[in-house]
Amino acid sequence: MNKFNKYGNSSFWMDKFDNDIDYELLSDKEKGTKDLYKLAGKKRAISNFVSIVTSKQIPVKFAVNGESYTDGETVTISSKIENPSDFDTTVGLALHEGSHIKLSDFQFLRDLDTHIRALSNYSELEQIANRCKGIHIYSVLKDVLNWVEDRRIDNFVYKSAPGYRDYYVSLYDTYFNDKIIDKALKSDEYTDETIESYMFRLINLHSKFTSLNALKGLREIYSITNLQNISRLKSTKDAFVVAADIFTVIMKAIDLNPENHKPNQNGQPQSGEGDGQSNGEGSEGEGSGQSNGNESESDESNETNGKSPMSGDMDSDGDGNGMDTDMEASGDGKESTSPSKGSDKTSDSSLSGRQKQMLDKKIQKQKDFIRGNIKKAKITKTNARTIEVIDTADAEIKSVGSEFVRHGNSNRRVDCILVKKMTRELMMDHSFPLAYSGYNHNSKKVELHNQCEASIIEGIRLGTILGKKLQTRSESRDTVFNRQLIGKIDKRMISALGFGNEHVFYTKETDKYNKANLHISIDASGSMGGTKWAKTMINVVALAKAVDMITNLDIQITFRTTSNEVPYVVVAYDSRRDKFVKVKSLFKYLRPGGTTPEGLCFEALMKYMVGANTNVDSYFVNISDGEPYFYSRDIEYVGSDAARHTRKMVEKLKGLGIKILSYYVTDQSSIDPQSYSGKIFTECYGNASNFINVTNVNDVSKTMNRLFLQK
């Protein structure tokens, strides 16, 4: 059973990136390879979420060491996505940040100081702030605005994209729904009229444990906010008007005793500390990013209470005993008709010293959220570039091998890296196993090392000749049969109808070739090096060139190998989307290496194969120099067991109507089909097996030539 299946929200996505392998047992090489591809896959999934919800192509990237990531244009996510709960929260944060980019007015936020000073009661507020000697109007009012804007933005996404609500629930469970916070809301903590108290009670105003009697003016703040109708706010400017009214109530209700507003032990104001700037312009109002991990000081922390986020639902008397049912508040905000339990303040069990320390951390975590200062696990610039390259190459990890049986026992599934678009950038990256790259000492730029340019040139020459021979595939011939009793009316014969001639119809037959698709899979293991590789490349390039000259032929060329103990298959060329210049410019840098995961790579490619139908003929051509061979910690893919699995994959290809041709290439004078390797190869491919000497690799092209000219 997959270890992530118990997670409802993420199991669908996580199954695409992880299997039942114990991550802690992976070797450093395996981790290094898989981590980047898995992160790239998760980033791609999160990007899709953001694009769907915002209806905009908003870039998503990982936080990178040394970079400021809040720019108002890009969603930046944490690289700490090690389990499904991390993934859910990261998605929620990405949606939260993306919705700000879509809906928040960042110019208004950049001019916030001007808007604050333009308030009609600014002088009065400034006098109160000066008397408190610790309240910075800009900082506190910006925090209030951020909170209101978050409620407006999150409500919009929560209601307009109901399929993504679980991710928002996970987000709010991480930052707001916490037993320590709940207990503090029910206790007499933060019930003195200070900025700290008001900000704590305001940030958690949506909680069902909120008591509107905890602070003077809190009921009025609740009424002004009107959470149950927060969708009335259509812009950041609307949110600012509400925030200014809330701030005014707070300032008028605040305890003017300066002793209650002294800076803390670090010399900072008790609230609204700093100059109000986070990580760069445009960050206001963004709860962007992900924390470095959930605190684990107590079993009571980070537990959900079954609440929907931002509900604000409570009893009309505000004692915090109501039950929430939806995103928006259902509290009516009316004055209480009966006194709250206990006293004017809240009355519940007090917090212990340790719980108060934990509460301080939770509150700071909430403040960081509304200020957009959430810490995000970062990656190196090198790994960030690799992930971008992997993403551009449309690479993913496929879980394969479920049908592989060794000694009568099924092996655990293994990961196979599938790259669907080979690019120059990918080939130059350290993660790509089939090319050498390094710095040119003269230009100081990374360059690829040429491996087989002569083979490419020769392949193009032969392909041009082959393409000319195959030009007839593009031709069609129409034969018209006149004077028929059925068919379409021949207008020239209409006059004959008056003389009793009924043979005034014609039919037409078109003689043409079916469209054809050729998939060439090449063994790029280390043993294919030298003459075998050079000759193989000549033929592969020749076929690609010939197909480029024919309109009703398509070709895909894939190479299979291993990378850091992981099966690896790359679609190097696809004539349906690539131009032939890609073969000419990039194939000369390819070189073999690694082992032979054969059927595992075929399985990874299965859903991308082009099947045959009445209008399309499909061929699969394998070129290799031996039997399947691949070892890792999880699998011994060798011998007859591997051959049987490969044969299963071959039979599945046949089930798609694909004709199979498989060539065993050797640099020996001949290969005995009855040898051990010969028998294994035959077991893999059956009657499709062909044994050829490296000097006769042209037989592949000759065979394709004959096949393509068959109707």
Please indicate whether residue 320 or residue 582 has the higher confidence score (pLDDT): 582
pLDDT at 470: 77
Identify the weakest region by mean pLDDT among 35-39, 218-222, 579-583: 35-39
265 burial class (0-12, 13-18, 19+ CB within 10 angstroms)? Answer: exposed
pLDDT, residue 459, reads 93
φ and ψ at 2, to 5 degrees? -65, 135
Beta carbons within 8 Å of 158's beta carbon, 6+ residues apart: 165, 168, 309, 310, 327
Mean pLDDT of all residues in 319-326? 38
Half-sphere exposure of 401 (CA within 13 A, CB side): 31
What global pTM score does this model have? 0.73
Which pLDDT tens digit goes with each residue over 502-538?
Answer: 787 878 776 667 888 999 999 999 999 999 999 999 9
Task: For the chain, give every domain's residue range.
Answer: 112-371, 395-438+446-470+513-708, 477-510
Q: Mean pLDDT lowest for which of 39-43, 120-124, 297-301?
A: 297-301
Q: Is 56 exposed, middle or buried (0-12, 13-18, 19+ CB in 10 A)?
A: exposed
- Range 395-438+446-470+513-708: architecture per CATH: 3-Layer(aba) Sandwich (3.40)
Confidence (pLDDT) at 289: 39
In this prediction, residue 278 carries a pLDDT of 38
- How confident is the model over 663-681, as a mean pLDDT? 84
| Whole-angstrom Cα Rg for the chain | 34
Q: What is the pLDDT of residue 286?
A: 41
Average pLDDT for residues 134-138, to the nearest whole number?
86
Q: Among candidates 541, 649, 557, which has minimal Cα distance to 597?
A: 649
What pLDDT score does 269 carry?
Answer: 45
Element (H, E) at 463: helix 453-469
Under the banding of pLDDT at 50, 70 and 90, the label for residue 307 is very low
Confidence (pLDDT) at 446 = 76
Q: Which of 35-39, 410-414, 446-450 has the lowest mean pLDDT?
A: 410-414
Confidence of residue 447 (pLDDT cuts 50, 70, 90): confident
Q: What is the pLDDT of residue 3?
A: 39
Range 92-110 average pLDDT: 91
Give the residue from 167, 166, 208, 210 showing the smallest Cα distance to 187: 210
Confidence of residue 262 (pLDDT cuts 50, 70, 90): low
Question: Does the pLDDT of residue 73 top 50, yes or no?
Answer: yes
Say what percent of the chain tops pLDDT 70. 78
Most trustworthy range by pLDDT among 377-391, 481-495, 697-711: 377-391
Q: Which pLDDT score, from 0 to 100, does residue 291 have? A: 42
- Residue 630 is predicted with a pLDDT of 93
Position 328 pLDDT exceeds 50? no
Query: Looking at residue 476, what is its pLDDT?
Result: 61
